[in-house]
Amino acid sequence: MRAASHSHSIFCPTAKLGTGSFYFGAFHDRSGEALEGGKNYRLRVPANVPVREFWSATVYSLKTSSFFLNATRLTLSSLDREVRKNPDGTIDIYFGPKPPAGREPNWLYTQPGQKWFPWFRVYGPEKAILDKSWRLPDIETVG
């Protein structure tokens, strides 16, 4: 999720650079289309996210800026033991109305008929995040 794109935002609520948390947000997929609750998406989180603490991903309704009522899980994080890593250390996070088969631990619910947005939070961001040399890829449509 590139900060330079018109479809993304960055939020860094800290008084001292290098402490606290840093937020990546997106409202569009890689092709520029609005994130729709009835579609399926993937975010491939790079291996070894440069954080001292952990990262997390949370999904919100664009209409209410709150969680989806039918969500069974509200967030995924690097601390979740059940989240599955790819052989290269990357982690695929799936978003959609139903989990892809066999990918349930890496899935977050989105409600059909509603637009949504994620916050990808990093806690204890390291220099590579702060100087923008580390990049989070865009969310892509799958299936």
Query: What is the rounded distance in angstroms from the CA atom of residue 110 to the CA atom of residue 112?
Result: 7
Give the pTM.
0.85
pLDDT for position 25: 92
pLDDT for position 7: 47
Percentage, residues of the chain above pLDDT 90: 79
Task: Give the CATH number of domain 8-141.
Answer: 2.60.120.600
pLDDT for position 108: 97
Structure tokens at 111: 């409600």
pLDDT for position 70: 84
Query: What is the rounded distance in angstroms from the CA atom of residue 103 to the CA atom of residue 121?
Result: 22
> What are the residue boundaries of the structural domains of the chain, listed by start?
8-141
Query: What is the rounded distance in angstroms from the CA atom of residue 103 to the CA atom of residue 86?
Result: 11
pLDDT for position 97: 97
pLDDT for position 4: 38
Low-confidence ranges of the chain (pLDDT < 70): 1-19
